[in-house]
Structure 1
Amino acid sequence: MLSLANFAMKGPFQAGIAVVLLAALSVWFTPIGVLVGAIIALVTLRVSEVEGLKTLIWGLLVQLALVVSLTGSYWPAIVSALEFMLPVWLVSVVLKKTGSLALALQTAMVMVGLGVIGFHLVVANPTQWWTELFQQSLLPILQESGVSYSQDAMEGLIQMVTMLLGVFALTLWFSIVLLARWWQSRLYFPGRFSQDFYALSLPKSTAYIAVILAIFGLIGTGQGLVYDLSGVVIAGLMFQGLAIAHHTVKKRQASAAWLFALYVLLFLLPQTMLILATIGLIDTWMDFRNRWDQEQ
């Protein structure tokens, strides 16, 4: 992947070629959209916001042309732009102007939070809306394929769809920006990415919001807007917890296997995200990394 980034950085023409080809491939294999977003972010961080926006437009135009010709609808391309391109560019602009991963992460959290609030304003009952969508779209497929499922488990999952989509969006957008920042570090500033990531610490305002949401969640029903927003905050604090974990392994000169095991647990056990978020929340006041640095 680093060779791809190196090719894209040879000039605007090469960056355009890379985005056009990857955007075209992502029509058939969606995960390639991660690389499209990463190149847009890298061009934004290394060259300028305007060049990053131009690269984004090229990717969007290619996707629109292909999707409309194949399906007759432009919506899949719009969804792809919202999933991999536009939010990533906006977060990259903040990172370029401030040089702060924490502020970039907070910007992504605000965007996702506003999206969740907007969804609740437009849809009076999100759970009912997702239930109807499930019954109309997925249930017939499950019945035809003979797949068995637990009704109670499915109802519980439907109640979490809005929150899970918010968590997914935040994790995806910021991870793409981190990939672009890592590319930039490897190509131009060796070792800088590690320093920046180790120092990632969200403002205390985020911690206060997390505490407020937790209190309202305890006295509420455990569902609705507060529940969905709490997932977004937990996902943001998770990145701070990961930064602490990476910093700890580096300072203690521990084996990288610890980090590998942590990411495996994060993938297999959703509770790991909550543990990391709790560590990140406590670190807002305790400042673990600075304490450990002073001890040495």
Structure 2
Amino acid sequence: MQALARYSLSGPWQAVLVISLLGIGAWILFPLMYLSGALLALVAMQMGPGKASQVLLGGLVAQGIAGTVLMASPSVALALAAVIWVPIVALGGQVWNRASLPPALATVALLGLVAVMGFYLLHEDPGLWWQERLEHTMAVRAPDGLMPGGDEDLAALIGRVAAYLPGAFAGVWVMGLAAGLVLGRWLQSCLYRPGAFGIEFQAWRLGKRWSGVVAACLFVASWRTDLAINLLVPLTVVLSLPAFGLMHALLQGRAGAKIWLGLLYAALLLMPHLVVVLAVVALLDGWLDFRARAPKI
């Protein structure tokens, strides 16, 4: 991974080559798009947003050409790349300008909120919009209506799920942006300042104003429950991240630290909804400062 990062930083064309190949590979294995975003974020953090923008432009051109040749649809290939690459360059540039990762991650949380609100402003009934498209997709894939459980069960399932898809897609999007920034910052630390990433990430605490943002989203539930949930999903994804740094900071140097951290990550894989608990812990830490209260080793 570090060798790939070094090669990407050796020049703009090398970065375009690596990021473009990963972007094309993401058509088959989508997580590769997050890896390409991490390398693009690394370029922005280390070389500045100007150089990163050049790499971005070259990568988008390559995606368009590859999409035309391999998919006969350059617009799909470009959209898939642009939705990750364009914001990641801006966010990586923010890290480069401020020499700090947490403000950029806070911007990611705000982007998630803006994405959900924007979708609601564009569509009078977002749930119905998604429901119509899901039903159309199902009809295309199963024209004879041969779906397990019958059409009524499927229609009921689609109706229940559709209302919360704006938040789900926003959550996946911000998770990709946050993962790209974190991985890019970690690679930068490994290459140029070993250990700096751990210090920065473990010291990250949420400001108290984030409690107000969450409270405002909860207040929206008295008006539109679906909107409140859709806002909280991407917000929770990002606000849970400081809790990981907190856990690492509290367990650092203590007996069995690796075991406890391993159990935490295993529990998250088995029960992803635990990110809600982590987000609450991170919000409480903004008020109580658990690091200062923890007994010293």
Q: Corresponding residue for 1:169?
A: 173
Alpha-carbon shift at residue 53 of structure 1 (Å): 1.0
Unaligned runs of 5+ in 2: none
Q: Corresponding residue for 2:233?
A: 231
Q: Corresponding residue for 1:98?
A: 98
Alpha-carbon shift at residue 103 of structure 1 (Å): 0.6
Paired with 2:259 and 2:130, the residues of 1 have a C-alpha distance of: 40
Paired with 2:108 and 2:211, the residues of 1 have a C-alpha distance of: 16
1:183 equivalenced with 2:183 (yes/no)? no
Q: Corresponding residue for 2:40?
A: 40
Tell me the amino acid that sits aligned with residue 97 of structure 1. N
Tell me the amino acid that sits aligned with residue 207 of structure 1. S
1:254 equivalenced with 2:256 (yes/no)? yes
Q: Corresponding residue for 2:59?
A: 59
Matches within 5 A, 1:61-76: 61-76=61-76
Measured against aligned partners, the alpha-carbon deviations of 1:90-120 in whole angstroms (never above 9, x if no partner) come to: 1111111112222111111112211111111
Fraction of identical pairs, as percent: 25
Alpha-carbon shift at residue 179 of structure 1 (Å): 0.6
Paired with 1:253 and 1:78, the residues of 2 have a C-alpha distance of: 49
1:18 equivalenced with 2:18 (yes/no)? yes
1:199 equivalenced with 2:203 (yes/no)? yes
Range moving further from structure 2, 94-103 or 10-19:
10-19
Q: Report the TM-score, using the length of structure 1 for normalisation.
A: 0.90
**Residues paired across the two proteins, number:** 293
Indicate how the Cα distance of structure 1 residues 145 and 48 shifts in structure 2: closer, same or farther if over 3 A, else same.
farther
Range moving further from structure 2, 271-280 or 135-144:
135-144
Paired with 1:21 and 1:95, the residues of 2 have a C-alpha distance of: 25
Task: Name the SS for the 1:197 alignment partner.
Answer: helix
Task: Name the SS for the 2:240 alignment partner.
Answer: helix
Tell me the amino acid that sits aligned with residue 225 of structure 2. G
Tell me the amino acid that sits aligned with residue 75 of structure 2. W
Range moving further from structure 2, 109-118 or 278-287:
109-118
Measured against aligned partners, the alpha-carbon deviations of 1:106-162 in whole angstroms (never above 9, x if no partner) come to: 111112211111111111101101110110003553676744485454433222211
Q: Is the 8 A contact 2:23 2:81 kept in 1?
A: no
Paired with 2:236 and 2:25, the residues of 1 have a C-alpha distance of: 33
Tell me the amino acid that sits aligned with residue 286 of structure 1. L
Tell me the amino acid that sits aligned with residue 40 of structure 1. L
Q: Corresponding residue for 2:218?
A: 214
Paired with 1:105 and 1:238, the residues of 2 have a C-alpha distance of: 11
Unaligned runs of 5+ in 1: none
Alpha-carbon shift at residue 36 of structure 1 (Å): 1.6
Paired with 2:255 and 2:52, the residues of 1 have a C-alpha distance of: 38
Paired with 2:48 and 2:231, the residues of 1 have a C-alpha distance of: 32
Supply the RMSD in Å over aligned alpha carbons. Answer: 2.2
Tell me the amino acid that sits aligned with residue 233 of structure 2. G
Alpha-carbon shift at residue 50 of structure 1 (Å): 0.7
Q: Corresponding residue for 1:265?
A: 267
Paired with 1:146 and 1:153, the residues of 2 have a C-alpha distance of: 12
Tell me the amino acid that sits aligned with residue 67 of structure 1. G
Alpha-carbon shift at residue 62 of structure 1 (Å): 0.7
- Equivalent in 135, 156, 162 of residue 158 of structure 1: 162
Paired with 2:119 and 2:140, the residues of 1 have a C-alpha distance of: 26
Tell me the amino acid that sits aligned with residue 125 of structure 2. N
Tell me the amino acid that sits aligned with residue 10 of structure 1. S
Q: Is the 8 A contact 1:94 1:107 kept in 2?
A: no
Alpha-carbon shift at residue 44 of structure 1 (Å): 0.8
Q: Is the 8 A contact 2:178 2:238 kept in 1?
A: no
Q: Corresponding residue for 2:287?
A: 285
Paired with 1:186 and 1:279, the residues of 2 have a C-alpha distance of: 28
